[in-house]
């Protein structure tokens, strides 16, 4: 009995060191060696300063910027520590009121265009950094007007930031909002 007790203590210590210290250090080291950008959060830097991550959306409220999808992550949205959807049913009054309010704002912004669904619905994580090309197209008149540039120039930037399906068949075409807004700021800063 005493021998089994010491063997169990020894195995606990060995597996703790092996699986709790050595294995995580090896995996972290390999990630830093082979995938350093991804291992460090896929950060987007401007002048050496991190301004966001390629993997996480963030809110843009000024009219001269493209906006991302609504977020239900955390009380104020876009809280990366509270990633997740709202889990509200389609018949929930809170969800209906929020979507109706968003639709009214968007109709006032661009009355003659159909509203893309991703501008009024949150993603499953609430942190989606991308919008559909249709959602970007919908916002072009407002962004062009606010930045005092032509819609065709903004459309060209949107086209340059539109990513195709991954491997040609996974997912949908998408526009990365932060990268698009950063290029807009670089080329045509808001006054």
- 73-107: pLDDT as tens digits: 777 777 777 777 777 888 989 889 988 999 999 99
- Say yes or no: 75 and 151 in one domain: yes
- Which stretches in the chain have pLDDT values below 50? none
116 and 138 co-located in one domain? yes
What pLDDT sits at residue 58? 87
Residues 87 and 147 in one domain: yes
What pLDDT does residue 64 have? Answer: 93
Domain range for 30: 1-40
Residues 79 and 65 in one domain: yes
Does residue 178 contact residue 63 with C-beta atoms inside 8 Å? Answer: no
Q: For residues 62 and 78, what is the distance between their CA atoms, to the nearest angstrom?
A: 16
**Same-domain status, 35 and 53:** no
Shared domain check, 106 and 118: yes
Residues 72 and 141 in one domain: yes
Q: How many domains does the chain have?
A: 2
pTM to 2 decimal places: 0.79
């Amino acid at each position: 009995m005493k021998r089994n007790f010491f063997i169990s203590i020894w195995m606990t210590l060995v597996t703790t060191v092996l699986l709790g210290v050595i294995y995580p250090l090896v995996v972290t080291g390999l990630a830093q060696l082979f995938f350093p950008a991804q291992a460090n959060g896929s950060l987007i830097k401007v002048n050496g300063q991190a301004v966001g991550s390629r993997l996480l959306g963030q809110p843009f409220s000024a009219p001269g910027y493209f906006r991302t999808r609504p977020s239900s992550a955390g009380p104020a949205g876009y809280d990366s520590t509270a990633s997740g959807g709202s889990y509200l049913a389609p018949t929930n009054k809170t969800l209906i009121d929020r979507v109706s309010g968003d639709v009214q704002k968007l109709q006032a912004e661009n009355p003659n265009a159909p509203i893309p669904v991703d501008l009024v619905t949150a993603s499953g994580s609430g942190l989606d950094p991308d919008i559909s090309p249709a959602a970007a197209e919908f916002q072009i008149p407002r962004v062009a007007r606010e930045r005092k540039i032509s819609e065709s120039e903004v459309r060209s930037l949107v086209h340059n930031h539109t990513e195709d399906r991954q491997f040609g068949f996974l997912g949908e075409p998408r526009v990365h909002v932060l990268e698009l807004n950063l290029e807009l700021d670089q080329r045509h800063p808001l006054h």
